[in-house]
Structure 1
Amino acid sequence: MTLTPLDYNPPTEPWLTVIHEDRDMIVVNKPGGLLSVPGRTPELLDSVLSRVRAIHPGAQAVHRLDLGTSGVLVVATRRKAEATLRGQFQDRLTRKVYLARVTGVLAEDSGQVDLPLICDWPNRPRQMVCHDTGKPALTDYFVLERAEESTLVLLRPHTGRSHQLRVHMASLGHPIIGDNLYGDARQGDRLHLHASQLGLHHPYSGEWVVFHAPCDFAPHVPPVTLEPPASPSET
């Protein structure tokens, strides 16, 4: 489904939830329903990036979360920091933890989904599994809670493909609640996918830092320990 101005009604309260801020970057808890970066038309200007630029005019995006996904989002506020941060995401030198509530009851307590993904071009922005031309995509999942008709899972992506977590969970027969592309949006008031934690090396000091954003649909889940990757191949 392509987003149109008529579909876009981003939340405005709170305007910007800041988790961390220094001279190199600002870390926010993005709400579901707000774009990470501006869209192509003026009606889609409102986004995390445009709101940050009201405070830091030179701010630049270094990664994104889907419109419906909430959670930790980092924005660079200096050009030098932008290059360093962007490089970490491209080289898989970050660590990410997501929480998701999926439909149905997962039988296994944990597992791994290893399915290559590529854009389903006639139906973009949908992605699809393709073993011939898809790019490698790997996700670990861990069951945290089982309910009668849903399961709360912790997800750790090793790669950062577009819609990776959404497609991978749907491939197990358990799409994320509220997913309008790979499941049934009527099952929830929003996409139940939250970027809970993000670990990276600070662009100035090089120190390993981990940011956490509490999850509105699973506020009781504590953060986990995130160790820095020794090399890109381990992420």
Structure 2
Amino acid sequence: MSEEELNARLLYRDGLMLVIDKPAGIAVHQGPHGGENLGDYFHMLRFGLPRAPALAHRLDRDTSGCLVLGRHHKALERLGLLFKQGKIEKTYWAIVEGAPTQDMGLIDLPLGRLDESRGWWMKVDPKGVPAQTRWRVLARSESHAFLGLEPLTGRTHQLRVHCAALGWPIVGDRVYGRGGAMGLQLHSRAIKIPLYKNKEPVSVEAPAPSHMDAMLSACGLSGLPGEAGQALRIEPGAGQIE
């Protein structure tokens, strides 16, 4: 990835953090088998600071959208605490096979590791950790639904396992669904971060990715708000943790 391509994916910047629009199909950090990862390019996002930014959280390899980076150690500590305390609001877009019978609801199913040989693969497990996802149907087609998903907890593969457990796996999910050539139809659409005291939370949106265009069109949607011409937000006055 070139510096120009990476900068084109920058959605927000201030003195403490960056938010980038992660492309689908690339890991955010190096895995046990090596290979290309997004972290290889973070040095291009220093913007005058002596060190590269680092991940404040993670997205799956095949998930696109809002990814938050802390620009230095204190910022990472603050962001990490906000994520841990569940104070950061996240909204995902997903296209699922089949459709919920209702228009909205709450999935409350605890999750545990599938088994020790499957790494981070997860399953619904009554003895697992609590996991909650609020969902809402945004559009429907004959065979699919376009959902807005809000994870109230931050468990590994939570949205993917929860949707599959209710009988509507996310399209393109190779682990919990049937896979497919069009890729995982899961996008981190928006994030709201209460980083600064006495200020409104920082709200950032990532435009709909091109690999979801065909399925969105099948659900009768095109030209979604924010899909084109997303302007970079730069907040030069922000950057002090009070």
**Which TM-score band (shorter chain)?**
0.7 to 0.9
User: Counterpart in 2 of 1:20?
Assistant: 12
Return the TM-score normalized by structure 1. 0.82
d(CA) in 2 for partners of 1:28 and 1:55?
10
Tell me which of 125, 134, 149 is aligned to 1:130.
Answer: 125
Matched, 1:29 2:24: no
Give the deviation of 1:53 after TM superposition. 2.3
**One-letter code aligned to 1:24:** L
After superposition, the Cα gap between the structure-2 partners of 1:114 and 1:126, relative to the gap in structure 1 and judged at 3 Å, is same
The sequence identity of aligned pairs, in percent, is: 33
d(CA) in 1 for partners of 2:166 and 2:3?
35
CA contact (8 A) 1:35 1:66 kept: yes
After superposition, the Cα gap between the structure-2 partners of 1:111 and 1:210, relative to the gap in structure 1 and judged at 3 Å, is same
**One-letter code aligned to 1:58:** A
User: Counterpart in 1 of 2:83?
Assistant: 89
After superposition, the Cα gap between the structure-2 partners of 1:41 and 1:126, relative to the gap in structure 1 and judged at 3 Å, is closer
Runs of 5+ consecutive residues of structure 1 not aligned to the other structure: 1-9, 224-235
Question: Counterparts in 2 of 1:1-235, with a 5 A limit?
Answer: 14-16=5-7, 17-44=9-36, 46-47=37-38, 49-56=39-46, 57-120=51-114, 121-132=116-127, 134-186=128-180, 188-202=181-195, 207-216=200-209, 217=212, 218=216, 220-222=223-225
CA contact (8 A) 1:24 1:203 kept: no
Return the TM-score normalized by structure 2. 0.80
Give the deviation of 1:202 after TM superposition. 2.7
User: Counterpart in 1 of 2:239?
Assistant: none
CA contact (8 A) 1:11 1:34 kept: no
SS in 2 for 1:89: helix
CA RMSD of superposed structures (Å): 2.3
d(CA) in 1 for partners of 2:82 and 2:108?
22
- How many residues are treated as equivalent by the alignment? 210
Give the deviation of 1:61 after TM superposition. 1.2
**One-letter code aligned to 1:22:** D
Which deviations, in whole Å up to 9, do the C-alpha atoms of 1:84-142 show, x marking residues without a partner? 0111001111001000000113211111110000111232321011102x000000110
CA contact (8 A) 1:23 1:78 kept: no
CA contact (8 A) 1:141 1:155 kept: yes
